[in-house]
């Protein structure tokens, strides 16, 4: 047995989709990120783990272009997000990224199928076509029966499956999920994870999954641990 | 885990041969640890001695593997009592991990590295269990979930300890 110092953040394939280097971000006097880095390969599922307040969400937001780091670089398909105009960055988010949050992301006034169709509608797809696609996605997530209900009238687990459908309906290259099962009981959480991981794998989308729960992280291909705003470089025994 | 009681419980559904018992046991409960034939026969002869099972017919030309066993009334009483007797909640107060962390701190090593290595190993096992669970039936899922929740408990302890390393270092070196 030989002990080799390895970078804890090595993608499982070399085909990099998204990477971040040396990210720093402060909010007032609070340092949220302090030289954080991550690499995500095409089709790879990476879990970002760490205790509450360690900077996981801030890292995710920087990767997704929702937050601009104070310094450091985020590259998506080799393109530096900082070089894009706000408008180009929004277009990238709408076209190539999908998002899933813990809760509260569905529009309460719209039915579930309208919620899933919304990203397509915003991209200019005609209503009938968009809603037909949305229904297919709801079926894939095993919630076609609630298509015409409002989000307020479905269970937490069903709502999260709708959110997964909405994130994937545009065939994004990467899905960002921040504690997607954080508000669910173990059983619904497992179902959501299974469906999320299956559909991401089937569509070839990468998944960046923020979670503080190990059972959720166990669905990933690889984990990156954040502590005090820093991604841990792990010394691995091989 | 009491193999004797598990075999008795299986015999409650009907008489079986020793090899048949082993097969059913392995199928249901022997995920990582199938029974050895020797263990099945030594257990059965103990149950026989204690009057919890009886022989219930031979096949002609039979060695021990040709005997059929049936549960007795005393056996049924014994299984019932075993089922409702709670297992001892295990308290792992002698933790190898705790010992390693303390020794790392006492010797001025990086205890966080100990925790990180363990977390990575735990997560690897949890990934294996998770993918096994996804390909499996309900029985596989429940067995894997049991193991997953236990590994998760260890990981929560690792996180808590990581958050308290500085305090612990002061205590063990002070
Ligand atoms: N918009 C914000 N304004 C002020 N402080 C923030 C903001 N976002 C995050 N923080 C702080 O940055 C640190 C990291 O937060 P976050 O990335 O949300 O951690 P995590 O997701 O790991 O719980 C925390 O101390 C948090 O309070
Ligand atoms: Mg967060």
How confident is the prediction for chain A on average, in pLDDT? 91
How far apart CA A46 and CA A40 sit, in angstroms, is 7
What tens digit of pLDDT does each residue of B151-160 get? Answer: 999 999 999 9
Residue A235: its pLDDT value, please?
Answer: 46
The residue range of the domain holding B58 is: 3-84
* 3-class DSSP state of A35: strand
- CATH number reported for the structural domain that contains residue A16 in this entry: 3.40.50.300
ipTM reported for the complex, 2 dp:
0.83
- Regarding whether B75 and B12 lie in a shared domain, the answer is yes
The Cα B130–Cα B31 span in angstroms is 15
State if residue A220 touches ligand 1 by the CB under 6 angstroms criterion: no
Q: Do B143 and B73 lie in a common domain?
A: no
Check whether residue B27 and residue B57 sit in a common domain: yes
Question: Strand A97-100 and strand A174-178: pairing?
Answer: parallel
Judge contact between B31 and B59, C-beta under 8 A.
no
Write down which residue in B84, B114, B149 finishes a domain: B84
pLDDT in tens, B14-49: 999 999 999 999 988 887 789 999 999 999 999 999
In a domain, B113, yes or no: yes
Out of A55, A101, A216, A231, give the residue to mutate to test ligand 1, the one with the largest number of ligand atoms within 8 Å of its CB.
A55
Q: Is B32 among the domain residues?
A: yes
One domain for residues B117 and B60:
no
Closest by Cβ to A214, choosing from B116, B117, B152? B152
The ligand whose atoms approach the alpha carbon of A55 most closely is: 1
Q: Which ligand is nearest to the CA of A180?
A: 2
Residue A233 covered by a domain = yes
Is A6 touching B (CB cutoff 8 A)? no
What CATH number is associated with residue B39? Answer: 1.10.10.10
Question: Six-digit token pair at A205?
Answer: 């989308």
Question: Which residues make Cβ contacts (< 8 Å) with residue A126, sequence separation at least 6?
Answer: none
The confidence score (pLDDT) of residue A3 equals: 38
Q: Which of B64, B84, B104 is the last residue of a domain?
A: B84
- Contact list in B for residue A6 (CB cut-off 8 A) is none
Q: Rounded CA gap, B100 and B95, in Å?
A: 9
Task: Evaluate whether A209 touches A217 at the Cβ level (below 8 Å).
Answer: yes
CB B31 within 8 A of CB B1: no
Do the chains contact at A225 and B155, CB–CB below 8 Å?
no
CB count within 10 Å of CB A198 equals 14
Q: Is residue A30 part of a domain?
A: yes
Q: Which residues contact B4 (CB under 8 A, 6 or more apart)?
A: B43, B46, B47, B52
d(CA B72, CA B164): 56
Q: Which has the minimum average pLDDT: A175-184, B1-10, B83-92, B113-122?
A: B83-92
Atom of ligand 1 nearest to the CA of A51: 22
**Looking at A42-141, which runs of residues are DSSP E strands?**
45-49, 71-76, 79-80, 97-100
- Let me know if residue A4 belongs to a domain: yes
A178 CA distance to ligand 2 middle (Å): 7
Contact criterion met (CB below 8 Å) for B8 and B70: no
pTM of the model: 0.86
Length of chain A: 238
Q: Are residues B102 and B80 in the same domain?
A: no
Q: Of A31, A58, A68, which is best to mutate to test ligand 1, by the most ligand atoms within 8 angstroms of its C-beta?
A: A58
Q: What is the pLDDT of residue A114?
A: 98
Pick B62 or B128 by higher pLDDT.
B128
Same domain, yes or no: B79 and B111: no
Arithmetic mean of pLDDT, A4-27: 75
Q: Please state the atom number of ligand 1 nearest to the C-alpha of residue A229.
A: 14
Ligand 1 contacts CB of residue A58 (under 6 A): yes
> For the residues A179-201, what does the mean pLDDT come to?
94
B117 and A234: CB-CB below 8 Å? yes
Q: What is the pLDDT of residue A238?
A: 41
> Is the residue at B91 inside a domain?
no
User: In the predicted model, is pLDDT for residue A98 greater than 90?
Assistant: yes
pLDDT for the residue numbered B2:
87
Q: Does residue B61 lie in a domain region?
A: yes
Q: Please list every residue in chain A whose beta carbon sits closer than 8 Å to the beta carbon of residue B134.
A: 194
Q: Check CB contact of A194 with chain B, cutoff 8 Å.
A: yes
Indicate if B66 and B107 belong to the same structural domain: no
State the burial class of residue A124 (Cβ atoms within 10 Å of its Cβ: 0-12, 13-18, 19+). exposed
The pLDDT assigned to A234 comes to 54
Looking at residue A8, its pLDDT comes to 46
Nearest to B130 among A213, A218, A237 (CB): A218
In a domain, B163, yes or no: yes
Q: What is the pLDDT of residues A56-87, one digit of tens each?
A: 999 999 999 999 999 999 999 999 999 999 99
The string of pLDDT tens digits covering residues A203-220 is: 999 999 999 999 999 999
Contact list in B for residue A217 (CB cut-off 8 A) is 123, 126
Distance from CA of A100 to the nearest CA of B (A): 22
Is residue A11 predicted with pLDDT exceeding 70?
Answer: no
Return the sign of the alpha-carbon dihedral for residues B103, B106, B108, B112.
positive
List chain B residues with CB under 8 Å of A3: none
Same domain, B64 and B111: no
Residue tagged 């269990």 (tokens): B129
Q: Whose CA is nearest to atom 11 of ligand 1?
A: A32
Q: Which domain holds residue A232?
A: 1-86+174-180+206-238
Structure tokens at A136: 């297919």
Q: Tokens at residue A85, please? A: 């105009």
Same domain? For B131 and B152 the reply is: yes
Q: Is A189 a domain residue?
A: no
Q: Which helix (H) or strand (E) element contains residue B53?
A: strand B53-55
Domain-embedded: residue A124? no
Q: Could you give the number of structural domains in chain B?
A: 2
Say how many Å lie between the CA of residue A55 and the centre of ligand 1: 6
Asked whether residue B133 is assigned to any structural domain, the reply reads: yes
Q: Read off the pLDDT of residues B58-100 as tens digits, 9 standing for 90 and up.
A: 665 555 557 899 999 999 999 999 999 988 887 776 788 999 9
Establish whether residue A27 lines the binding site of ligand 1, counting it when its CB lies within 6 angstroms of any ligand atom.
yes
Q: Of B53, B84, B115, which residue sits at a domain end?
A: B84
Residue A188 lies inside a defined structural domain of this protein: no
Both B167 and B108 in a single domain? yes
Cβ of A108 less than 6 Å from ligand 1: no
Pair (B80, B42) in one structural domain: yes
Q: In this structure, is residue A67 part of a structural domain?
A: yes
Contact A201, A170 (CB under 8 A): no
Instruction: Flag whether A223 is in a domain.
Output: yes
- Taking CB atoms and an 8 Å limit, are A51 and B159 in contact across chains? yes
Residues B9 and B80 both lie in one domain: yes
In a domain, B35, yes or no: yes
Confidence of residue A182 (pLDDT cuts 50, 70, 90): very high
User: Which of B134, B149, B157 is the best mutation test for A, with the most CBs of A within 10 A?
Assistant: B134
Number of domains in chain A: 1
CA A80 vs. chain centroid, Å, equals: 19
């Amino acid at each position: 047995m030989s002990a080799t110092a390895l970078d804890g953040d090595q993608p499982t394939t070399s085909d990099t989709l998204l990477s971040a280097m040396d990210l720093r971000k402060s909010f007032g006097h609070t340092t949220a990120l302090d030289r954080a880095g991550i690499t995500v390969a095409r089709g790879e599922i990476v879990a970002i783990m760490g205790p509450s307040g360690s900077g996981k969400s801030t890292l995710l937001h920087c990767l997704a272009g929702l937050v601009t780091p104070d310094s450091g670089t985020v590259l998506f398909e080799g393109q530096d997000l900082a070089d894009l105009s706000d408008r180009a960055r929004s277009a990238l988010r709408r076209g190539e990224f999908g998002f899933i949050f813990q809760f509260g992301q569905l529009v309460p006034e719209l039915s579930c199928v309208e919620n899933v169709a919304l990203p397509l509608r915003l991209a200019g797809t005609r209503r009938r076509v968009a809603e037909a696609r949305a229904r297919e996605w709801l079926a894939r997530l095993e919630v076609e029966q609630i298509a015409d209900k409002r989000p307020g009238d479905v269970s937490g687990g069903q709502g999260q499956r709708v959110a997964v459908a909405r994130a994937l309906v545009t065939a994004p290259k990467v899905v960002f999920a921040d504690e997607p099962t954080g508000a669910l009981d173990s059983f619904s959480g497992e179902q959501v994870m299974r469906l999320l991981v299956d559909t991401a794998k089937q569509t070839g989308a990468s998944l960046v999954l923020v979670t503080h729960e190990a059972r959720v992280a166990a669905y990933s291909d690889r984990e990156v641990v954040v502590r005090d705003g820093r991604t841990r470089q792990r010394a691995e025994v091989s | 885990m009491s193999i004797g009681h598990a075999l008795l419980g299986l015999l409650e559904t009907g008489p079986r041969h020793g090899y048949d018992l082993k097969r059913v046991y392995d199928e249901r409960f022997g995920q990582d640890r199938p029974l050895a034939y020797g263990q099945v026969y030594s257990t059965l002869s103990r149950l026989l001695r204690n009057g919890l099972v009886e022989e219930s017919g031979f096949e002609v030309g039979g060695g021990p593997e040709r005997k059929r066993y049936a549960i007795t009334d005393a056996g049924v009483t014994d299984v019932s009592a075993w089922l409702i007797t709670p297992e001892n909640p295990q308290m792992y107060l002698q933790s190898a991990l705790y010992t390693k962390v303390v020794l790392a701190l006492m010797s001025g090593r990086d205890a966080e590295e100990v925790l990180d290595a363990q977390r990575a190993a735990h997560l690897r096992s949890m990934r294996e269990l998770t993918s096994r669970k996804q390909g499996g039936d309900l029985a596989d899922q429940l067995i894997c979930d049991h193991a997953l929740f236990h590994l998760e408990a260890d990981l929560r302890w690792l996180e808590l300890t990581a958050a308290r390393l500085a305090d612990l270092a002061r205590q063990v070196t002070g």
